[in-house]
Chains A and B, each alone.
Chain A
């Protein structure tokens, strides 16, 4: 076992680590500056259990009802040899009638080993004599911070006229052509992770990365019904973001250099020690973290009184001012601003004077 693996094991506190998936990767890219999350994810720490251990229990992730609903919708779209999906693809992508072949990559001869499934995926997708059409649950891999991560995508890769598409089946409704923006954005970045992984795979097979389309096919329920509909999502922007963030995700060794030696987030340790160790890894809390990170409540508590806990817009307006106390002092003119704070300070003093004029000393 290498030193790096040994250290990651110590941080995790032994046992098997939790794996990355498309969700954690897209979350990672939404806050790439957060060392705490990067280290915890690399070590495969069970962040939900850790959060509970340090005194911040709470619900995280999709509700079981949402998950069941998602699975039901997926099963419906894929039932009877993907009958509904084929109808949609014929309608929107001019899929010709003979193109209906379906390969189930959920297991290889009843075996669900990741490596085996990945090999099978590579063989089936790379076949050129009889190119398939639909591939159910292919197993892809992606390099994240120097480690190979298996991605078990909840989707079908689909090939038409020599070009692969990612089909993402989501159970949130598109009502009158409108869907929840946050959900579409999350689906887009997740799909971008798959596009990237699929491009890696086809490149390794000697094909061009352009053989994987940047147009993702999003299948969602239409209006208030259970009928599926298709939307095309262009993920070129997400791909650029993702590629940049993944390259910025520093390599494991460099990340570990930022962490004190002997640090351990093991659940067997005393919660006080773990809290201290956790605090010694730099974090960058943002309100969005609440949606994407299990440790968010802990970080929010820690970040109380700092300006970045109030979100990106506030942080940008108050560039260079770290804490709420400083903000108030600058506004009142008690604290002399440093040159880089001058602009924000002028704005704050103006705001303070307007407030005093309108409210007097009432508040």
Chain B
């Protein structure tokens, strides 16, 4: 995908702002990574500018920048792509695997850890400045950020909640979505099939994963059992979220510095 020069400029501005924030917070690793990304964009921008100057119909110029190893897109967009495919909150491991399988580019796992913090910082400094934020899924019982599950802020809140049955529901829905994506794909994607095989092995009647249709229907069969109970639990929890602030609704309620709870033993 080739970005227009305006889009590139906007991205570069975003990146610079992110770098400033990261530097202020002392995340030197993140600054370095972002700088690499920025240099890539600047190179792209130079090329786009040269294209504009040379001739007006520059659109015919072939793709020049992105290599398959690392995507040109900002990290958050890559994560957004993977989550949009899955449609349910997912752990970084799965996000990395899905992105690798379907979008071909690898996401450095280490950077995902700082992503969540950066998103929250960005939201706190300028609420709703971005079209979406990557935020943790929330636990249904305490509306606290769940450990390691990422979701997208634009999803309905009830879909971002995690009840006791949700991990299994997420697993089955992910399997269905991955199977569907494989069926949609114009060509055979070996990495995606391998990913699906891992799912298939743990779904009753899922087969060996070579038949996306079989996996999807097996997953749907089991999903029917859990879906209803899970949804009721999450909807019940969602009712309690109305009193939350915007930050809490996106990034969860933290239970910090508790005055020692009386032991009710």
Interface residues of A, Cβ cutoff 8 Å to B: 75, 79-84, 86-87, 90, 97-98, 100-104, 106-111, 113, 115-116, 119, 122, 130, 132, 204
Contacts and interface: CB of A to CB of B under 8 A. Distances in A.
A111 B91 CA distance: 20
B204 interface: yes
B217 to A, nearest CB: 15
A97 B256 contact: no
A109 B171 contact: no
B263 A119 contact: yes
A100 B258 contact: no
Given A83-B171, A102-B168, A110 B145 contact: yes
A195 B139 CA distance: 28
Contact of A90 (B145, B204, B252): B204
Nearest to A130: B164
A115 B255 contact: no
Given A97-B222, A110-B254, A111-B256, 12 more contacts: A80-B170, A80-B174, A81-B167, A98-B226, A100-B226, A102-B168, A103-B164, A107-B147, A108-B142, A110-B256, A116-B261, A130-B164
A286 B146 CA distance: 46
18 contacts: A75-B93, A80-B170, A80-B202, A81-B170, A83-B171, A86-B168, A86-B202, A98-B225, A100-B167, A100-B168, A100-B226, A108-B255, A109-B139, A110-B255, A111-B255, A111-B258, A116-B258, A204-B265
Nearest to A204: B265
B164 A132 contact: yes
Contact of A87 (B165, B166, B202): B202
Contacts of A104: 139, 146-147
A103 B164 CA distance: 6
Nearest to B167: A81
Interface string B225-265: 11001000000000000000000000011111010110111
Nearest to A98: B225
Contact of A79 (B93, B139, B260): B93
A97 B174 contact: no
A113 B165 contact: no
Contact of B147 (A80, A84, A106, A111): A106
Contacts of A132: 164
A81 B171 contact: yes
Given A79-B91, A84-B202, A102-B167, A109 B253 contact: yes
Interface of B: 91, 93-94, 139, 142, 144-147, 164-168, 170-171, 174, 199, 201-202, 204, 222, 225-226, 229, 252-256, 258, 260-261, 263-265
A122 B261 CA distance: 14
A90 B252 CA distance: 34
A238 B191 CA distance: 46
A190 B165 CA distance: 29
B181 to A, nearest CB: 17
Given A109-B254, A110-B144, A115 B167 contact: no
A109 B202 contact: no
Identify the 3 closest CB pairs spanning chains A and B, nearest first. A81-B167, A109-B255, A109-B144
Contacts of A98: 225-226, 229
Contacts of B142: 108-109
Contacts of A115: 260-261, 263
Nearest to A104: B147
A32 to B, nearest CB: 28
B225 A97 contact: yes
A122 B263 CA distance: 11
Contacts of B229: 98
A139 B167 CA distance: 21
A103 B222 CA distance: 20
B241 to A, nearest CB: 14
A204 B263 CA distance: 13
B164 A102 contact: yes
Contacts of B256: 110-111
B253 to A, nearest CB: 6
B171 A80 contact: yes
Given A98-B226, A108-B142, A110-B144, A81 B258 contact: no
A107 B253 CA distance: 13
Contacts of B222: 97
A207 B225 CA distance: 29
A134 to B, nearest CB: 9
Contacts of B167: 80-82, 100, 102
A144 B10 CA distance: 62
**Could you say which of A80, A84, A132, A204 has the most chain B C-beta atoms within 10 Å of its C-beta?**
A80
Contacts of A204: 265
Contacts of B255: 108-111, 116
B225 A113 contact: no
Nearest to B146: A104
B201 A100 contact: no
Given A80-B174, A81-B170, A106-B147, A100 B165 contact: yes
Contact of B94 (A80, A109, A111, A113): A80
Contacts of A108: 142, 144, 255
A65 to B, nearest CB: 20
A297 to B, nearest CB: 38
Nearest to A81: B167
Given A86-B202, A119-B261, A81 B168 contact: yes
